[in-house]
C-alpha cells in the first residue's frame, strides 16, 4: 500500500467515526481536555512574551500590545466562519448529522470572536486614531460579519423542527460564503485607515521576531481555545439532540452515580 492510500483510508475512518454522534461524543471526551490544555499553555507563554518580553513600539508605545488579543480575535472571526460554512456544506451534501452540530455550535463562538475583535479594535483606535469608530473598510466588513453570524443564529432558532432548522441555517451559511468576498471588496472602496497586511505581506512579515513570536503563539492559543469550546458545546448539543437514545441515558446515569 502506498502512503497516499493509507492516509486516505485513515481520513475516511476518521470521517465515519466523527459522523456518528456517539463516536463523536467519545472522541470529544479525549480531545476537549487536550485542546483546553494546549490553549492554556500557549496563552500563558504568548501573554508573558507579549506583555513583558516584547519591546514597546517606537510609535505607539505600550498601547500596541492589545494586538495580542485583537489580531487573534479578528483572525478567528474569519476562520470560524470558514469552518462553519464548510461544515454546513458537508452537512447539506453528505447529510452528515454531526456537521450541522459543528456548524451551529460555531456560530455563537464566531460571533463572540468578531465582537471581541471589534471591541478591542475600538479600544485600540481611541488613542492611536483618536476615534472609537470610523467607517473604514475593515471595520465595516467585520461589523457585517457579526450580523451574518446573528442571521445564522436567528435562522436556526426560528424553526421548530430541528432538521429544517439545520438545513435552513446551513443554506444561509453557504450563501454567506459567496457574498462575504463581494462585501469585502465593495467596502474596500472607501480609503482605508486601517493598516494593511503585516504578517502575510510580500517579502516576509513586516514585524520583528520578538513581537511576532508571541502573536503567533496567541493565534494558536485562540485556535485551540476555539477547538476546546467547539468540542464542549458540540458535546452538549449531541446529548440534547440524542437525549432519547439509549447510550445517552446510560452515559447520564453513569455520570450521576
Partner 1 sequence: MNTLLLYFKREWQLLFRNTGALIQPLVFFIIIALLFPFSLPAEITLLQKIGGGIIWVAAVLASLLSLENMFQSDYQDGTLEQAIIHQRSLEMAMLGKVLAHWSATGLFLTVFSPLLCLTFNIPSEQIWVLFFGLLLGTPSLTLIGAVGAAITVTLRRGGVLIAIIILPLYIPVLIFGAGMLSQSAQGLEITSQLYTLAAIFVLAITLAPFAIASALRATIN
Closer CB to partner 1, 136 or 235, in the complex: 136
Closer CB to partner 1, 122 or 155, in the complex: 155
How many residues make contact with partner 1 (CB under 8 A)? Answer: 25
Long-range pairs of 96-100 with CB within 8 A, sequence gap ≥ 24? 96/19, 97/19, 97/21, 97/241, 98/18, 98/19, 98/20, 98/21, 98/24, 98/234, 98/238, 99/19, 100/166, 100/169, 100/170
How far apart are CB 15 and partner 1 at their closest, in Å?
Answer: 23
Per-residue DSSP letters for 34-47?
Answer: HHHHHHHHHHHHHH
Using CB under 8 A as the binding rule, whether residue 191 contacts partner 1 is answered as no
One of 151, 199, 242, 245 touching partner 1 (CB under 8 A): 151
- In the region spanning residues 45 to 104, those forming contacts with partner 1, defined by CB under 8 A, are 92
At residue 61, the 3 state secondary structure works out as strand
Binding mask 105-144 for partner 1 (x = CB under 8 A): ---------------------------------------x
Please report, for residues 96, 110, 180, 241, the alpha-carbon distance to residue 15 in angstroms, rounded to integers and kept in the order given: 10, 23, 28, 20
How far apart are CB 133 and partner 1 at their closest, in Å?
Answer: 17
Closer CB to partner 1, 149 or 222, in the complex: 149
CA-CA distance, 10 to 59, in Å (whole number)?
A: 51
The alpha carbon of 181 is separated from its chain's Cα centroid by a whole number of angstroms, namely 18
What's the residue count for the chain? 257
Using CB under 8 A as the binding rule, whether residue 254 contacts partner 1 is answered as no
Closer CB to partner 1, 42 or 118, in the complex: 118
Part in contact with partner 1 (CB under 8 A); list of ranges 69-77, 107-115, 156-164, 243-251: 156-164
Residues 72, 214 contacting (CB under 8 angstroms): no
Closer CB to partner 1, 14 or 154, in the complex: 154
> Cell triple for residue 103?
456548524
One of 187, 219, 230, 234 touching partner 1 (CB under 8 A): 187
Binding positions for partner 1, rule: CB under 8 A? 92, 144, 147-148, 150-152, 154-155, 158-159, 164, 167-168, 171-172, 175-176, 178-179, 182-183, 186-187, 189
Amino acid at each position: 500500500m502506498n502512503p497516499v492510500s493509507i492516509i486516505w483510508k485513515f481520513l475516511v475512518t476518521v470521517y465515519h467515526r466523527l459522523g456518528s454522534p456517539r463516536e463523536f461524543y467519545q472522541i470529544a471526551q479525549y480531545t476537549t481536555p487536550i485542546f483546553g490544555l494546549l490553549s492554556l499553555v500557549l496563552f500563558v507563554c504568548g501573554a508573558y512574551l507579549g506583555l513583558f518580553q516584547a519591546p514597546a513600539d517606537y510609535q505607539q508605545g505600550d498601547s500596541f500590545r492589545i494586538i495580542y488579543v485583537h489580531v487573534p480575535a479578528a483572525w478567528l472571526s474569519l476562520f470560524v466562519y470558514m469552518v462553519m460554512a464548510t461544515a454546513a456544506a458537508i452537512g447539506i451534501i453528505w447529510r452528515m448529522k454531526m456537521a450541522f452540530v459543528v456548524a451551529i455550535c460555531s456560530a455563537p463562538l464566531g460571533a463572540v470572536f468578531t465582537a471581541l475583535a471589534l471591541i478591542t479594535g475600538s479600544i485600540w483606535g481611541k488613542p492611536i486614531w483618536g476615534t472609537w469608530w470610523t467607517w473604514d473598510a475593515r471595520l465595516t466588513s467585520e461589523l457585517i460579519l457579526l450580523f451574518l453570524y446573528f442571521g445564522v443564529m436567528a435562522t436556526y432558532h426560528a424553526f421548530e423542527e430541528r432538521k429544517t432548522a439545520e438545513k435552513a441555517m446551513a443554506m444561509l451559511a453557504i450563501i454567506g460564503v459567496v457574498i462575504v468576498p463581494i462585501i469585502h471588496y465593495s467596502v474596500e472602496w472607501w480609503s482605508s485607515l486601517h493598516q494593511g497586511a503585516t504578517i502575510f505581506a510580500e517579502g516576509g512579515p513586516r514585524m520583528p521576531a520578538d513581537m511576532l513570536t508571541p502573536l503567533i503563539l496567541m493565534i494558536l492559543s485562540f485556535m485551540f481555545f476555539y477547538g476546546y469550546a467547539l468540542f464542549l458545546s458540540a458535546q452538549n448539543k449531541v446529548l440534547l439532540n440524542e437525549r432519547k437514545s439509549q447510550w445517552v441515558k446510560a452515559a447520564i446515569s453513569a455520570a450521576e452515580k
